[in-house]
Structure 1
Amino acid sequence: MARAGERIGNHMSSTSVTRVLAAATLAAASLVAGTAAAATPVGFGPQMRFGHGSGTSFSGGNWGGYVSFGSFTTATASWTEPAVTCNSSNDLFAPWVGIDGDGSSSVEQTGVATDCSSGHAVYQGWYEMYPAAPVYYSNPVSAGDHFTATVTRSGTSYKLDLTDTTKGWTKTITKSANAKHSSAEAIIESPTDSYPTISGGKVSFTGVKFDGKSLASTSPQGLDADDRGSYTWSPGSIGSDGQSFSLTRH
Structure 2
Amino acid sequence: MRRWLGASAVAAAAVLSSATWGTATTTVPLVVHKPAHHLVPPGRGVAYTTNWSGYAAKNATFTDAKGSWVQPAVSCSSNRRQYSSFWVGIDGDTSNTVEQIGTDSDCVGRRASYYAWYEMYPAGSVALSQATYPVSPGDELSADVAYTGSGSFTLTLNDATQRWSYATTQSSTTATRTSAEWVAEAPSSCFRTCSVLPLANFGTASFLGSSATATGASGSISSFTNDRIVMETNGGTVKANPSSLSPDGSAFSDTWYHS
Q: Shared fold (TM-score greater than 0.5)?
A: yes
Deviation at 1:38, TM superposition (A): 9.4
* 2:137 pairs with one of 113, 120, 143: 143
Return the alpha-carbon distance in structure 2 between the equivalents of residues 232 and 89 of structure 1. Answer: 17
* 1:209 pairs with one of 194, 208, 211: 211
Return the alpha-carbon distance in structure 2 between the equivalents of residues 37 and 119 of structure 1. Answer: 25
Contact 1:46–1:105, Cα closer than 8 Å, also in 2: yes
- The residue aligned with 2:161 is 166
Q: Which amino acid aligns with 1:62?
A: N
Return the alpha-carbon distance in structure 2 between the equivalents of residues 148 and 221 of structure 1. Answer: 22
Cα-Cα RMSD: 2.6
Return the alpha-carbon distance in structure 2 between the equivalents of residues 180 and 40 of structure 1. Answer: 26
Contact 1:194–1:228, Cα closer than 8 Å, also in 2: no
- Render the CA deviation track for 1:39-64: whole Å, top value 9, x for unaligned: 7521112111479xxxxxxx542011
* 1:197 pairs with one of 180, 195, 201: 201
* 1:223 pairs with one of 226, 229, 232: 229
Return the alpha-carbon distance in structure 2 between the equivalents of residues 237 and 112 of structure 1. Answer: 23
- Render the CA deviation track for 1:13-46: whole Å, top value 9, x for unaligned: xxxxxxxxxx9xxx8xx87754457975211121
| Alignment coverage as a number of residue pairs | 219
Residues 235-250 of structure 1 aligned to structure 2 (within 5 Å): 235-250=242-257
- The residue aligned with 2:36 is 47
- Render the CA deviation track for 1:117-149: whole Å, top value 9, x for unaligned: 354111110000000000001111100100001
Contact 1:194–1:227, Cα closer than 8 Å, also in 2: no
Contact 1:157–1:176, Cα closer than 8 Å, also in 2: yes
2:181 is aligned with 1:185: yes
Return the alpha-carbon distance in structure 2 between the equivalents of residues 107 and 60 of structure 1. Answer: 16
Return the alpha-carbon distance in structure 1 between the equivalents of residues 231 and 27 of structure 2. Answer: 28
**TM-score normalized by the length of structure 2:** 0.76
**TM-score normalized by the length of structure 1:** 0.79
Unaligned runs of 5+ in 1: 7-22, 52-58
- Sequence identity, in percent? 37
Distance 1:38 1:180, change over 3 A: closer
Contact 1:206–1:243, Cα closer than 8 Å, also in 2: yes
Q: Which amino acid aligns with 1:144?
A: G
Deviation at 1:248, TM superposition (A): 2.0
- The residue aligned with 2:118 is 127
- Render the CA deviation track for 1:189-228: whole Å, top value 9, x for unaligned: 0124422222xx3111000001131111112101111369
Q: Which amino acid aligns with 2:206?
A: S
Return the alpha-carbon distance in structure 1 between the equivalents of residues 172 and 125 of structure 2. Answer: 15
Return the alpha-carbon distance in structure 1 between the equivalents of residues 126 and 111 of structure 2. Answer: 21
Unaligned runs of 5+ in 2: 41-47, 188-195
Moved more, 134-143 or 184-193: 184-193
Return the alpha-carbon distance in structure 2 between the equivalents of residues 175 and 232 of structure 1. Answer: 32
- Render the CA deviation track for 1:100-133: whole Å, top value 9, x for unaligned: 1111111000000122235411111000000000
